[in-house]
Structure 1
């Protein structure tokens, strides 16, 4: 253990960023490979549509498509710094679009085609995107809100065309496949990533081209020192999300390795099918998807080629972690990051000891602290807010950090510490443990309760597949601790009174008396976000609604 910690400490203390003055994401991920005769025809993307149709994108094809689109965008009036929305699922055209936008000096705005109409509208209006690139997956949604997005003047459609849309194929057919890219500084704006908007309006985090360099240490560590021979990657996360784009897609192409782009519903059975068919070596999977794989208990057939799994979202259930190691042959590396910061905390099982359920240790190159309400470092074991400094431990700018929120004064001096809104505590060895979002903390009978520690311990019981802790309004105590629990399949159908007693006894083994759930409700599923994070706010509102009905005498 001491040797392993010494290795981590050496990595962390010696790490230094090497950020060139001039840098462009499109150049680093596509152009430099495509213009090398020995690399141009290597596969960049294996693409599989929902109906099973397959396609292959070489670096050369990606490059030429991006070049044609860059010419087309400039002829449509694109200016340097303009925002272009790309509302596409996992497909080669999404990458070609991003590279076309960035090598033309504009800002790529990736948006999920799964967004509800009002959520998509909010992001389009906020970014003031003049051009959007879409396919059939978002065509109907966009049509319903188009009249409320006055800045959006032009739409490029892939696979369809109508009176409001310019066909992708027609636009590209008239353009040259060579393009002279705009010269960009590493600090120039390149990417506008939106926060999830679960606790308020979504905010656009504007990143520079250097954000790709900032993402590399977390990606390399999370994927057990990527790249290695024969490495390929599939991220089950939406490519519009930070976990999908900076946590998987762009770093993979930066290293010149192939990606899998898979459209359609990702079930446990299809997950195993994709991993096996494409001999995927490295994956980015959510804790909920890994839990679904364990619960489905599908025979693997031929052994998988997996050597690493990175997961992010809620903490991974200890039973799921053990199942992954036993059945998949890989212990997942849990990582933590946000749209503003990239992945700054995590595990890397071959470089430092993994503590399942923890957020891990600060990734080399990033300065992360648990701070109290006054902004000072919290004591070991005390709960505080996770914050990331804009300077690395050596005092140099951290390239992973966002430039500013979209709409903020670009000349304003940003705060040195970026508060994440997530609560955590640091143990004696420096590992960080998630204690929920700041808005998830509540008081019960005078005690300050963070859900993370309670949920983590409940998940250690074999009956618990997933758990969420929320306050239940109570006239005498203000609130009591309530647990929503999803049972493991082998415990479904057992007497609830027995299960409640068993879980409360389990809680008493480790938790303080005021943390023991006074009420437990068993549910089939917990509400989750697109990244698999539990939406405790939905459950808190459920309890408030029930309390209001009780006060009116309504059952």
Structure 2
């Protein structure tokens, strides 16, 4: 394993250079369009159709769409919903909105009517750009969204007075208006948090948030870009992970971005990476686990060019970490961040040693600490909440911060303790500055007086060949308060039974503390997941509480 450690040198030398004027469209699209042949996008669909697009083509489409949106009344600061998959139109829509100085509000294609209404009403979105597949869902609730003046349909014809076909809008003549003269602190993106701990909140991101993500992106992708770098990730471009960790930083550096409009599968992931020469990727731990179980020896089946893998969302764990190193020949760089303050902590294996299971160290430009309930930094070895300071080690403002929660100043205020922005995630920092994730503050629980971090038990379970995925939650117990319970998704070829339960319990007891092994194991077909690939332990925890109230017995 690489033991080169340039961390302190890199961190000490980093200084933020935020220009007085900054627009995401200008830096990610317009500046590369002068070269008419520079490739930008490769988009493949489930049928195997592949489209290739240059930065010049992007810039032309962006200018035309911006003119069309201006005709629909979109003005600076207006929110524009974007409900699209990984496709050309998603990139064009984002850049057109930034060009106007408006605010892009990406929404998942998986959202149902209720989720759409909540976000459209709360944001006061003026226009929605939607895929034909979700038009009906939006049309059914558009009357409940008084601010929504128009809908732009991609891949279909306009079927109502307030609807406009994408192709018709793209046929608009350029109106000669320049790119909006935006400040780095002007709003650019409104992304709603997943709402796992309450109603979704809209995090308003400034233009400069992209700059705040760049040092972490470069480090986690092992010095991106290098000549010939090609990036792909299955992360939905409607979320921070897909937008700020994949789409925008790749285009910021003028490299090729691969998009896939289709369902994720381990085999398809390997096929895409091999076919399009992908060198860099972001893969959720859940995706890596599925790939490890489905294709244990991928280099024997696929010609891969991978040189860097970033992973985030959950802890990767020793088993998956070791598999990537051996089977893919790539050391995973784990990363930690959240919508409000993204790409703040992680690894960069070519610049400092990656520690299996560690979140990593604070990326250059970010001052990160583990703090107590009163907002004071804790010494190494003590459990606390990960937080980021508004200013870096040099005293300069960190551009990674969100502007605040949309129309929710009280929630914004609660997010901070002085200049420290709280993440809600618990960790321990060791003497070397590495952070070790211990779970969400609301995921931690006590069983028989012991504090349990579910991710450690889950990662241990996944290390057993019979386990494809696992989630650990407390099960109410009248004598001990709670006992450790595991929900397990089996790998192909294994059957549930008492013998397997005992084998899994012995597996955990042999590697962790005796009090951490699951007293009960329930086998299920799939874990409840967010659309960003995170396990919804809260759903399972509430299920256990409901069962306890009803006096039921889980199996």
- Residue 431 of structure 1 corresponds to 434
For 1:85 and 1:95, locate their aligned partners in 2 and report how far apart those are by CA, in whole Å: 13
Q: Within the alignment, does 1:162 sit opposite 2:159 as a pair?
A: yes
TM-score w.r.t. length of structure 1: 0.93
Contact 1:276 1:305 in 2 (8 A): yes
SS of 1:439's partner is: coil
Contact 1:68 1:178 in 2 (8 A): no
Q: Within the alignment, does 1:209 sit opposite 2:197 as a pair?
A: no
2:495 aligns with one of 490, 493, 496: 493
Contact 1:89 1:239 in 2 (8 A): yes
Provide Cα deviations, 1:518-548, integer angstroms capped at 9, x if missing partner. 2233334322222221111111122112212
- Residue 372 of structure 1 corresponds to 372
1:182 CA displacement: 1.5
Q: Within the alignment, does 1:45 sit opposite 2:45 as a pair?
A: no
1:302 CA displacement: 4.2
Q: Within the alignment, does 1:107 sit opposite 2:110 as a pair?
A: no
Provide Cα deviations, 1:317-365, integer angstroms capped at 9, x if missing partner. 4222222222222222111111101111111111111112221111111
For 1:312 and 1:192, locate their aligned partners in 2 and report how far apart those are by CA, in whole Å: 21
1:433 CA displacement: 1.5
Question: What RMSD in Å do the two structures reach over aligned CA positions?
Answer: 2.3
SS of 1:4's partner is: coil
2:444 aligns with one of 413, 418, 441: 441
1:126 aligns with one of 118, 122, 128: 122
- Residue 527 of structure 2 corresponds to 526
SS of 1:440's partner is: coil
Gap runs ≥5 in structure 2: none
SS of 2:365's partner is: coil
Aligned 1:14-53 pairs, distance under 5 A: 14-34=13-33, 36=34, 39-53=35-49
Distance change >3 Å, CA 293–CA 456, structure 1 → 2? closer
Contact 2:266 2:295 in 1 (8 A): no
- Which stretch of structure 1 is more off in the superposition, 186-195 or 420-429? 420-429
- Residue 407 of structure 1 corresponds to 407
- Residue 320 of structure 1 corresponds to 320
SS of 1:374's partner is: coil
SS of 1:428's partner is: coil
For 1:494 and 1:201, locate their aligned partners in 2 and report how far apart those are by CA, in whole Å: 36
Contact 1:23 1:185 in 2 (8 A): yes
- Residue 391 of structure 2 corresponds to 391
For 1:190 and 1:524, locate their aligned partners in 2 and report how far apart those are by CA, in whole Å: 40
1:495 CA displacement: 5.4
For 2:260 and 2:68, locate their aligned partners in 1 and report how far apart those are by CA, in whole Å: 27
- Residue 244 of structure 1 corresponds to 242
Q: Within the alignment, does 1:137 sit opposite 2:122 as a pair?
A: no
- Residue 480 of structure 2 corresponds to 477
Contact 2:79 2:125 in 1 (8 A): yes
Contact 2:319 2:459 in 1 (8 A): no
SS of 1:48's partner is: strand
- Residue 282 of structure 1 corresponds to 280
For 2:469 and 2:229, locate their aligned partners in 1 and report how far apart those are by CA, in whole Å: 32
1:116 aligns with one of 112, 116, 138: 112
Provide Cα deviations, 1:359-396, integer angstroms capped at 9, x if missing partner. 11111111111112222223322221111222122221
For 1:494 and 1:189, locate their aligned partners in 2 and report how far apart those are by CA, in whole Å: 51
1:236 CA displacement: 0.7
TM-score w.r.t. length of structure 2: 0.93
- Residue 266 of structure 1 corresponds to 264
1:511 CA displacement: 3.8
- Residue 65 of structure 1 corresponds to 61
Gap runs ≥5 in structure 1: none
Distance change >3 Å, CA 373–CA 512, structure 1 → 2? farther
1:488 CA displacement: 4.5
- Residue 152 of structure 1 corresponds to 148
Distance change >3 Å, CA 356–CA 2, structure 1 → 2? closer
- Residue 517 of structure 1 corresponds to 518
Query: How many matched pairs?
Result: 547
1:487 CA displacement: 4.2
Contact 1:156 1:165 in 2 (8 A): yes
